[in-house]
Amino acid sequence: MSPRAWAVTALVVLFAAVAAFAAAKIPWHRAPAPRADQLDALSRLDAEQVERARDFHGELRPGRYAAMAIGLSMAAVLGLTPIGARLVSAVGDHWLVQAVFGGLLVVLVTELVTLPIAIWRHTVVVRYGISTQSWSGWAVDMLKSYAVGAVLGGLVLAGFFTITHFAPDWWWAFASAGVAGLVVLLSFVLPVLVEPIFNKFTPMAEGPLRTELLALAERDGVPVRDVLVADASRRTRAVNAYVSGLGPTRRIVVYDTMLTEATPDEVVSVTAHELGHAKDNDVLTGTVIGALGAAASVIVLYLIGSWGGLLRLADVESIGEPRAIGLLLVLTTIAGLVAGPAQAFVSRRVEARADTHALDLTGDPETFEAMQRRLGTVNLSDPDPPHWEHAMFASHPSTVQRMAAARAYARGAR
């Protein structure tokens, strides 16, 4: 068979593998959250706080959609016209120089165009009291983010175009295997190497809460290496906790804001939710699906990239050459927008299962409901967002959905 026929075959196999794995590992059914309970929970929330949260999201909403529109427009300009190819060519003639520095230049242009929206967003979150960062602190974090992205992006670009350069007919096979391996590798190393760049982590002081969290993990059968406190207060007033890492790198991380804003029982409730992700291997499931999906995406790029009309628009001869980075950008941007709602749907199902796990582990739906109320209040979450927006973007059930699920659980337990 030709390389293209093998690519189609491999793509079918990967899609089948993703579908089978997702069918087995994703919780497609969620715990009940009756709408009547949602409305009752909403009515019991502080009306002024609810209005303030909705005003907050109302102010952020135009920027979100503007950033999406500008990002897509810039990708189209760079990928569906010769402009992107000319930008890449401007950095030099050598293919590796074009791959790394040309690629980073294309990304930098898109970041700079949307930078004013990021600046405007920071003014909003500061005005509403969510962010505690000064402009200098915010700028330093932005530069750190750019630096991390440049290092990782440069390595990926160099690896990808080295493969396309030396295996022009079969690069899709090597690149798909490589990107799948990279997704798995980053799942292990990012929590250890990247998280400390943005936050300082210190072991939680010995005391009843630390003892209870470790005992909770042991009772749940989820081994954790440590309980850490992140200095989130230096940038935000939001509260959160999570279980980070896989295997020997797994640790419970609690925001320092959580320790000051929430009761110990509420910290335990949130941690029980996060342990649910570890118990059900949600990170591993996401890693496997991400790896298979990334491999399939490379093959799709290879197949679509052979379309002569696209190549002529971008003024390139092949999607495997560095000058086609703009074309790669627009295709991946469109793919991200299309896949976003499906990813959000899956995420909500996974989060709902973790909520049920927390309720089972603690047996305390009242504290769970109180914690959801506190999370929504402190983090200024819209407790009952517009249905279409929630379906498109929300990675978690809404505040009132989670409160209603706790009430339904309590009735079932009784």
pLDDT at residue number 188: 78
For residue 235, give the 3-state DSSP assignment.
coil
pLDDT at residue number 30: 82
pLDDT at residue number 26: 93
Over residues 236-242, the mean pLDDT reads: 91
387 is known to lie in a ligand binding site: no
Residue with tokens 């750019």: 146
As a whole number of Å, the CA-based R_g of the chain is: 23
Q: How far apart are CA 172 and CA 3, in angstroms?
A: 9
Question: Quick check: 38 and 404 in contact, CB under 8 A?
Answer: yes
pLDDT at residue number 285: 92
pLDDT at residue number 1: 78
pLDDT at residue number 384: 96
For 159, the enclosing helix (H) or strand (E) is helix 135-166
pLDDT at residue number 414: 53
- How confident is residue 191, by pLDDT bands cut at 50, 70 and 90? confident
pLDDT value at 31 more than 90 = no
DSSP character for 26?
A: S
Question: Quick check: 241 and 252 in contact, CB under 8 A?
Answer: yes
pTM (two decimals):
0.91
Q: How far apart are CA 131 and CA 101, in angstroms?
A: 34
- How confident is residue 305, by pLDDT bands cut at 50, 70 and 90? confident
Q: How far apart are CA 83 and CA 317, in angstroms?
A: 15
pLDDT tens digits, 100-121: 999 999 999 999 999 999 999 9
- How confident is residue 413, by pLDDT bands cut at 50, 70 and 90? low
Over residues 241-263, the mean pLDDT reads: 87
Question: Quick check: 367 and 265 in contact, CB under 8 A?
Answer: yes
Over residues 234-243, the mean pLDDT reads: 90
pLDDT above 70 covers what percent of the chain? 99
Question: Quick check: 9 and 296 in contact, CB under 8 A?
Answer: no
pLDDT tens digits, 164-183: 999 998 999 999 999 999 99
- How confident is residue 189, by pLDDT bands cut at 50, 70 and 90? confident
Q: Which two tokens stand for residue 248?
A: 């020997």
pLDDT value at 19 more than 80 = yes
pLDDT at residue number 328: 94
206 is known to lie in a ligand binding site: no
pLDDT at residue number 392: 93
pLDDT value at 249 more than 80 = no
pLDDT value at 323 more than 90 = yes
pLDDT at residue number 371: 94
- On average, the pLDDT of the chain sits at 93
pLDDT at residue number 297: 94
Q: How far apart are CA 316 and CA 42, in angstroms?
A: 55
Over residues 393-405, the mean pLDDT reads: 95
Our answer to whether residue 282 is catalytic in this structure is: no
Over residues 227-251, the mean pLDDT reads: 87
Question: Quick check: 20 and 340 in contact, CB under 8 A?
Answer: no
Our answer to whether residue 382 is catalytic in this structure is: no
- From 37, 266, 321, 355, active-site residue: 355
pLDDT value at 314 more than 90 = yes
- From 274, 321, 369, 384, active-site residue: 274
- How confident is residue 43, by pLDDT bands cut at 50, 70 and 90? very high
Question: Quick check: 252 and 236 in contact, CB under 8 A?
Answer: no
